[in-house]
Amino acid sequence: MVSDAGSYAPVPPDLVARAPKVLLHDHLDGGLRPETIIELAAADGYDGLPTTDPEALRAWFVDAASSGSLERYLETFAHTVGVTQTAQALRRVARECAEDLAADNVVYAEVRFAPELHLEKGLAEHDVVESVLAGFADGQRSAAQAGHPIRIGVLLTAIRTATHSRRIAELTVEFRDRGVVGFDIAGAEAGFPPTRHLDAFEYLRRENAHFTIHAGEAFGLPSIWEALQWCGADRLGHGVRIVDDIAIAPDGEPRLGLLAAYVRDRRIPLEMCPSSNVQTGAAESIERHPIGLLRRLGFRVTVNTDNRLMSDTTMTREMTLLSDAFGYGLNDLQWFTVNAMKSAFIPFDQRLALINERIKPEYAALRAVLAERLSERG
Ligand SMILES: [Zn+2]
């Protein structure tokens, strides 16, 4: 029966791979191909790489990013940022990003990057944004030709330890009709509360622009509270620590504090990145990741990759890990995907079109395939 197929778990890996996916939290400088890093370093005279063997480099990134500290994790970006200081390099990595996501059957993605990190060789912030947009346009064209149409929206990221957030917010508004759909703030969280950048957020709100804030990853509830109640974030990057405001009573019943209740009631999207959270110590393991509890309680949870290179991951892998750890079937994976699409920063009618024309029919087809296999097995 098809209804059983929807809850059957774990979902066979080939069906997870074929499922249409939506990704809201992915860093451009965290998703480079190791081969590309090596080629760009050679072309650019960048000599800081720990190795020039692609497989060894792939392993090095995962290893260095798995130290259990957000600060150490962020250090690995010196190399990916170091080799993307020219217009050609930025255009290439953006094209490859679109192609890699499309090959993973991602139908819609919001990819973020910080323009201010790519100015070392004389590019202006405008050039950086133009180059990345051109690369995404190239990638969307080639992905469509390869039979995997994908749409990419760009988020411009400001660095929370720096002071340029207002300028990046203005850049977001300036490019809003050309593929930039929102703003983000990222970087070391402890000691750098989002209210340091209030000016940028107030500007964005006056301009009716969308933004998300990395909050509740390395640091707890005060960071989430500021992001929502002072800054007015539309979504939370990670937000895993919201579980600190949920107590489990002796009878096993969860009791939500005021902030957790607010997040759930207002349907604030949580951009959760399971593998990344385990690497930085924000979660103990995939099996103990707060996503299990938050999904059960009906929070607006979404599944994301964060940094595909540092976690050696894809959307298919993150979904597979969750299906294995929590017994999620196709219905659950569709729920995460529809949650993400509803929470995207593109216009409402376009979100609905992707839900009704891609996500729902393609999931229905997968349920039928699985039902067929299950009935053959008898
Ligand atoms: Zn992130």
Question: Above 50 in pLDDT, residue 2?
Answer: no
Report how far apart, in Å, the C-alpha atoms of 289 and of each of 75, 87, 153, 273, 292 are: 24, 39, 28, 10, 6
List pLDDT tens digits, range 338-354: 999 999 999 999 999 99
Strand partners, 110: 153
Q: What is the mean pLDDT of residues 167-172?
A: 98
CA of 347 to the centre of ligand 1 (A): 23
Read off the pTM. Answer: 0.96
CA of 31 to the centre of ligand 1 (A): 11
CA of 198 to the centre of ligand 1 (A): 20
The token pair at 57 is: 């480099």
List pLDDT tens digits, range 39-63: 999 999 999 999 999 999 999 999 9
CA of 340 to the centre of ligand 1 (A): 16
Cβ neighbours of residue 190 under 8 Å, at least 6 residues apart?
Answer: 218, 219
List pLDDT tens digits, range 232-278: 999 999 999 999 999 999 998 999 999 999 999 999 999 999 999 99
CA of 307 to the centre of ligand 1 (A): 7
For residues 69 and 306, the model is more confident at 306
Q: Are the C-beta atoms of residues 71 and 188 closer than 8 Å to each other? A: yes
Mean pLDDT for the chain overall: 95
Domain regions of the chain by residue span? 2-377
CA of 32 to the centre of ligand 1 (A): 15
Question: Above 70 in pLDDT, residue 6?
Answer: yes
Question: Above 80 in pLDDT, residue 191?
Answer: no
Report how far apart, in Å, the C-alpha atoms of 40 and of each of 53, 61, 122, 126, 369 are: 13, 17, 17, 21, 42
Question: Above 90 in pLDDT, residue 111?
Answer: yes
For residues 164 and 40, the model is more confident at 40
pLDDT of residue 3: 54
Active site residues: 217
Which one-letter amino acid corresponds to residue 36?
T
CA dihedral defined by 324, 326, 332, 336, rounded to 10 degrees? -90
CATH T-level fold of 2-377: TIM Barrel (3.20.20)
Question: Above 90 in pLDDT, residue 74?
Answer: no
Question: Above 60 in pLDDT, residue 148?
Answer: yes
Query: What is the percent of the chain where pLDDT is above 70?
Result: 99
Cβ neighbours of residue 375 under 8 Å, at least 6 residues apart?
Answer: none
Burial of 312 (0-12, 13-18, 19+ CB in 10 A): middle
